């Protein structure tokens, strides 16, 4: 390994050959390099070489704008660590129920209620668990998924939701063919006007 001499303290030390090509200036340590920098304040080498040069010393920092007036008032003038809400003093309505922009009149009934489940069971019993269009029925190793279909759509006719005569049993394939399957009644207004 080649030996070189430090430019600051004249100490002779070993340096790898690739480091000589990459860094032609030779310094034995970082403090020696810091002393060699031009235009900087003088550095105490012993203080830099110690493990914790700031220990026991009071550090002071110069504020860049000390004594200067800002051309505009600061955003937090007069605040003591408390952020002011953007809508302070404005009463905001609660975004629920009738005050919500997506409100459609309410009165929706979940299909998970006991009343709906009872209606569905009664429709299946009325039709003897048989599809009313194709006659499909579970049994003899064959499984058929049955749905209780509303003849008049559930969403548009709230008064006839739980009337037994408004329900019919359909298999899943026949139910998908109905004009009111999964809200497609909105596209089939002509069909609904005939009901």
Q: What would the pLDDT profile of 88-121 be if each residue is shown by its tens digit?
A: 666 666 777 777 777 777 766 677 788 889 999 9
**Top-ranked range on mean pLDDT: pick from 30-39, 50-59, 120-129:** 120-129
* Model pTM score: 0.43
- What integer is the mean pLDDT of 27-52? 65
| Closest-CA residue to 145 (of 120, 170, 111) | 170
Per-residue pLDDT, 122:
95
> Average pLDDT for residues 133-159, to the nearest whole number?
88
Q: Is the pLDDT confidence value at 76 over 90?
A: no
Of 45, 40, 157, 175, the residue nearest 107 (C-alpha): 157
Instruction: Let me know: does 172 contact 147? Beta carbons within 8 Å.
Output: yes
For residues 149 and 108, is the Cβ–Cβ distance under 8 A? no
């Amino acid at each position: 390994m080649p030996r070189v001499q430090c430019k600051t303290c004249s100490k002779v030390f070993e340096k790898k050959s690739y480091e000589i090509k990459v860094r032609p200036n030779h310094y034995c340590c970082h403090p020696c390099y810091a002393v060699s920098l031009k235009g900087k304040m003088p550095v105490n080498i012993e203080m830099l070489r110690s493990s914790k040069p700031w220990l026991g010393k009071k550090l002071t920092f110069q504020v860049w704008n000390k004594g200067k007036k800002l051309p505009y008032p600061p955003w937090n003038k007069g605040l003591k660590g408390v952020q002011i809400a953007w809508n302070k003093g404005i009463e905001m309505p609660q975004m629920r129920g009738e005050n919500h922009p997506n409100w459609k009149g309410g009165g929706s009934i979940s299909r998970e209620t006991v009343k709906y489940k009872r209606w569905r069971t009664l429709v299946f019993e009325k039709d003897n668990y048989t599809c009313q269009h194709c006659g499909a029925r579970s049994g003899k190793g064959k499984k058929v998924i049955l749905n209780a279909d509303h003849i008049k759509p559930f969403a548009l006719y709230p008064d006839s939701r739980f009337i037994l005569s408004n329900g019919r049993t359909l298999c899943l394939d026949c139910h998908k063919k109905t004009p009111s399957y999964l809200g497609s009644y909105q596209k089939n207004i002509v069909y609904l006007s005939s009901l």
